[in-house]
Structure 1
Amino acid sequence: MKAGAATADGGGRRRFFTRIGCALFLLVGFGATLPLSSAGAAPQPPLLAFSARVAGDEARTRIVIDFEKKPEFSVHYVAAPERVIVDLPATAFGFPAEDLSARGLFKDIRYGTMGESSARIVLTAKRPVKLSIAEVQSNDNGSYRLVLDAEMASKEVFADLVKTQNWATSAAATPDPLAMAEKDNVFTVAVDAGHGGIDAGATGAGTKTPEKTITLAFAKTLAERLNKVEGIKAFLTRDDDTFLSLSERVTLARQGHADLFVSLHADTLGQKDIRGATVYTLSDKASDRMAENLATRENLSDELAGYTLQSGPPEVADILLDLTRRETQAFSIALASNVVESFEGQIGLINNPHRYAGFQVLRAPDIPSVLLELGFLSNAEDEKLLLDESWRSKVIDRMVDAIRRYRDRAMANGG
């Protein structure tokens, strides 16, 4: 196998050694792709895998391998360490090894011949994972591509995948995260406390209170209040001082089948006289210089914590996704308008309180999303309010009102 050999636990390991023998295992371990032959009938010519690519981050990663002919494949999960095993017919891997180098969710990717009639790809993960998509798609030129979309999963989810799979058949992929979840009567809100862990965010000019502490306090209270509203369920992307990458926040919202995503922040500005709340929605073109600068700083969160995004998160580039994005953006703007309406006259707002910019944390294509700047820690008056529990309660009341009205309108329109 390329970059080493792979085994499977339990019965998988026994089958592995039975099929190729210990000597072959050692040879494969040196990185050679070894086509084998026997004295019997001539084996079928191997499939040709002629190109490969990996994209994504530590929340979602896509692997695509192009084949001359349509490949049959099976997928299984192996624990200790967490691995995804992809078994293929005899395959000649005709692309440079660096094209399938590990990144994103995976710390090691190995592949190679298993015998006369089979080959294997072993994806060793940095954390528990699951495949949301595992399918063969046709290319325009008559070739085919194997598409594997992996996303982070809990230890419990991965353990269940290992436990319930049948090695005689392929493990089924979990549902496509872009597929619509089954409708129910519960309106779900993902409440995201900005920053956390090594990423403290902004710092109060007077008290030196970190932004991550303020956003978490607001998020906990907002989720608690929303959960008291009949028909609404809220959950937190983080409930303690933990770092989450921007992509992890979005993935957690999607895995929780959120109908709304609200990210809470309290930034600083060079102009200390500017104060008040601001609601942001996503746009590739910023509404103004202040929004552009703020989005740039917020998008640096991953780099500050040592996360380097090697490639953008995997997405399905088709017209359906584009239409989903447009519809989602319209809902996001409606939510922002509701927040502004609820705040007006009761909570201080900056001029032009609904603004937009390219915030990475708002890029879920299927979840209406807003980023709420509660106020600015660079302003002494705003800082006092941000640390005042009674003011926090008032802001939360207004947010609950905005979300409830948005939910009611969405339900009335069949959303």
Structure 2
Amino acid sequence: MGRSVWSACLRERIVQKAAAVLLVLASGQLGFAEAAAPKPLLAYAARIAGDEARTRIVIDFEEKPEFSVHYVAAPERVVVDLPATAFGFKQEDLSARGLFKDIRYGTMDESSARIVLTAKRPVQLTLAEVQESDSGYRLVLDAEMATAEAFEALVRKQSWETDQEGDRDTPIASADDGEFVVAVDAGHGGIDAGATGVETKTPEKEITLSFAKAVADRLNAKPGIRAYLTRDDDTFLTLSERVTLARQAKADLFLSLHADTLSQRDIRGATVYTLSDRASDRMAENLAARENLSDELAGVSLKDEPPEVADILMDLTRRETQAFSITLAQNVLDSFEGQVGLINNAHRYAGFQVLRAPDIPSVLLELGFLSNPEDEKLLLDQGWREKVSGLLVDSVERYKNLAVANGG
């Protein structure tokens, strides 16, 4: 399995045709010969991209394939069953990466074939469908990390006899009706310590986690609002995992908290960032570049971008989400004005990977700079943390009320 090449496909077809001729000679019935040796589908191209949060697999066929998907535990596997199929692409085109540590495929018997995707962690398919293409059809499989409980639920509920495509999606977390969910993301964590205090040497990951917990506690005290922490301990998360966790929690907002350093130690104050492909200034560009290196610093490959659907609807969604993100940023700044120190031009923008959820308004809040001694003292002060977290929650509540009033 996994070693089929074009020459093998030709040999298989020759063998099948020879068998068909023998059956015709023996039976004199062409229909019987065709039933005994069905013509296999040709899978002529394949590609895989993504990371350990989301991975997309695309396989191109000459004709439309019928398929079914099942989940198998110990280890976690996704099994895709196909009709008789000749796999005519190079093995390296479907080499394991992203969420999957092993991928095997091949013929089961004269009428069926199978693809087995062995995962590195619990996984679920959020999309499994056949799409028409200019040269035939493509099977598209979008995989996403899942909790162990969600994967177990997928295994339990399926039926190998009756499972059909499109009947596999089990949400990892779902908000109650009318509940406004805020994903609070404590920057850095685990092996990625982030910046370091200029005087106390306190790592950024500790400051962001403490602040995130304070914000979450205050949010959860508000009626109709639920906070979701992307991490609640000293755990490393890739940038893509943070975004994926927020989407799985059905978040209405995403707040990423940071406390960076700058070479200019005199610069201090809070900053709110929103996403843009073009940075507002050199400082924003440099800061985004450093934050986007978190994965590489922890040894995670950035070779493949997470899969996205590139179409008009996605583009429109991104534009609308960006407008909401800017509104959220302005609400935060309005709350901080006169209460919390802000740098000049406190709303800035750059290409932060962690803000790229296409459907969740997102901001990155730099609480202050650990390179500045005065900011460092405030960042470590519990009273200041309670004050700022309260102001931040007030801005979220105002945003929520505005969104509800506008039918959002």
Structure 1 and Structure 2 fold alike (TM over 0.5): yes
Q: How does 1:69-88 map to 2 (within 5 A)?
A: 69-88=63-82
- Separation in 2 of the partners of 1:375 and 1:220? 17
| Structure 2 residues not aligned, in runs of 5+ | 24-32
- Separation in 2 of the partners of 1:220 and 1:83? 35
- Alignment match, 1:110: 104
Segments ≥4 residues shifted beyond 4 Å: 32-40
User: Under a length normalisation based on structure 2, what TM-score does the superposition of the two structures give?
Assistant: 0.91
1:299 to 285, 288, 292: 292
Q: Secondary structure at the match of 1:163?
A: helix
- Alignment match, 1:119: 113
Are the structure 2 counterparts of residues 393 and 381 from structure 1 closer, same or farther at C-alpha, using a change threshold of 3 Å? same
- Separation in 1 of the partners of 2:175 and 2:316? 20
1:379 to 346, 358, 372: 372
Residue 175 of structure 1: CA displacement?
A: 6.9
Q: How does 1:255-270 map to 2 (within 5 A)?
A: 255-270=248-263
Question: What is the identity, as a one-letter code, of the residue corresponding to 1:217?
Answer: S
- Alignment match, 1:173: 168
Residue 185 of structure 1: CA displacement?
A: 1.2
Residue pair 2:128, 2:141 contacting (<8 A) in 1 also: yes
Residue 311 of structure 1: CA displacement?
A: 1.0
User: Under a length normalisation based on structure 1, what TM-score does the superposition of the two structures give?
Assistant: 0.90
Residues 11-31 of structure 1: CA distance to partner in whole angstroms, max 9, x if unpaired? xxxxxxxxxxxxxxxxx9xxx
Residues 81-130 of structure 1: CA distance to partner in whole angstroms, max 9, x if unpaired? 11000000011111111110111000111101111111100000000000
Residue pair 1:215, 1:265 contacting (<8 A) in 2 also: yes
- Separation in 2 of the partners of 1:320 and 1:216? 35
Residues 250-299 of structure 1: CA distance to partner in whole angstroms, max 9, x if unpaired? 00000000000000000000000000000000000000000000000000
Residue 309 of structure 1: CA displacement?
A: 2.0
Residue pair 2:60, 2:137 contacting (<8 A) in 1 also: yes
- Separation in 2 of the partners of 1:2 and 1:98? 9
Residue pair 1:74, 1:169 contacting (<8 A) in 2 also: no
- Separation in 1 of the partners of 2:142 and 2:353? 20
- Separation in 2 of the partners of 1:220 and 1:195? 14
2:124 to 119, 130, 138: 130
| Structure 1 residues not aligned, in runs of 5+ | 4-27
2:222 to 217, 225, 229: 229
Residues 129-154 of structure 1: CA distance to partner in whole angstroms, max 9, x if unpaired? 0000000011134x100000000000
- Separation in 2 of the partners of 1:372 and 1:121? 44
Residue pair 1:69, 1:144 contacting (<8 A) in 2 also: yes
Larger Rg: 2
Q: How does 1:10-409 map to 2 (within 5 A)?
A: 35=12, 41-42=33-34, 43-141=37-135, 143-170=136-163, 172-174=167-169, 184-409=177-402
* Greater Cα offset, 299-308 or 39-48: 39-48
Residue 182 of structure 1: CA displacement?
A: 8.5
Residue pair 1:277, 1:375 contacting (<8 A) in 2 also: yes
Residue 399 of structure 1: CA displacement?
A: 0.2
